[in-house]
Amino acid sequence: MSIPRQGALYHTALLRGCIDIAIIDACRSYAQAGILIAVLCRCARLKGASVLHQATPLHSDRFQTVSAMIEARNLHKVFGAFHAVRGVTLDVAPGEVVALLGPNGAGKTTTVRMLGAILRPSDGYARVAGYDVVEQAREVRRVVGLLTEFPGLYLRMRPQEYLCFFGALQGMSASDSARRAEQLLRQFGLWEARDKRLDSFSKGMKQKIALIRALIHDPPVLYLDEPTTAMDPHSARQVRDAMLELRAAKRTILLTTHNLTEAEELADRIAIIRNGSIVAEGTFAQLTRQFLGAPRWELRLGTSAHRAAAALDGLVQIERIDHESIYYHTDDARHINPQIVARLSDAGIPVVALNELPRRLEDVYLEIVAGNERASAASPAARPARRDGAPVSGETATLRVEG
User: How, if at all, do strands 97-101 and 252-256 pair?
Assistant: parallel
Q: How far, in Å, CA of 337 to CA of 312, rounded?
A: 11
* Domain end point (choices 254, 272, 288): 288
Condensed to tens digits (0 to 9), the pLDDT of residues 77-136 reads 999 999 999 999 999 999 999 999 999 999 999 999 999 999 999 999 999 999 999 999
Domain that holds residue 347: 296-356
Measured torsion, CA atoms of residues 40, 43, 49, 50, in degrees rounded to the nearest 10: 70
Condensed to tens digits (0 to 9), the pLDDT of residues 312-366 reads 988 988 999 988 999 999 989 999 999 999 999 999 999 999 999 999 999 999 9
| 279 and 314 co-located in one domain | no
pLDDT for the residue numbered 310: 87
| Alpha helices in 170-259, H assignment, sequence order | 174-187, 203-215, 233-248
| 86 and 187 co-located in one domain | yes
CATH for 346: 3.30.70
The domain tally of the chain equals 3
Which pTM does this prediction carry? 0.75
Condensed to tens digits (0 to 9), the pLDDT of residues 28-66 reads 454 555 555 555 545 544 443 333 334 345 555 556 677
* Domain end point (choices 239, 267, 288): 288
* Domain end point (choices 264, 288, 312): 288
| 331 and 245 co-located in one domain | no
Task: Establish if 382 belongs to a structural domain.
Answer: no
| 229 and 308 co-located in one domain | no
| 14 and 72 co-located in one domain | no
Task: Establish if 153 belongs to a structural domain.
Answer: yes
CATH for 283: 3.40.50.300
Task: Establish if 82 belongs to a structural domain.
Answer: yes
In which band, very low, low, confident or very high, does the pLDDT at 376 lie, cut at 50, 70 and 90?
A: low
C-beta neighbour count of 107 within 10 angstroms: 24
| 208 and 307 co-located in one domain | no
By CB atoms closer than 10 A (0-12, 13-18, 19+), residue 86 is buried
| 138 and 242 co-located in one domain | yes
Average pLDDT over residues 180-191: 94
Condensed to tens digits (0 to 9), the pLDDT of residues 4-29 reads 444 444 555 555 444 444 444 445 45
Task: Establish if 201 belongs to a structural domain.
Answer: yes
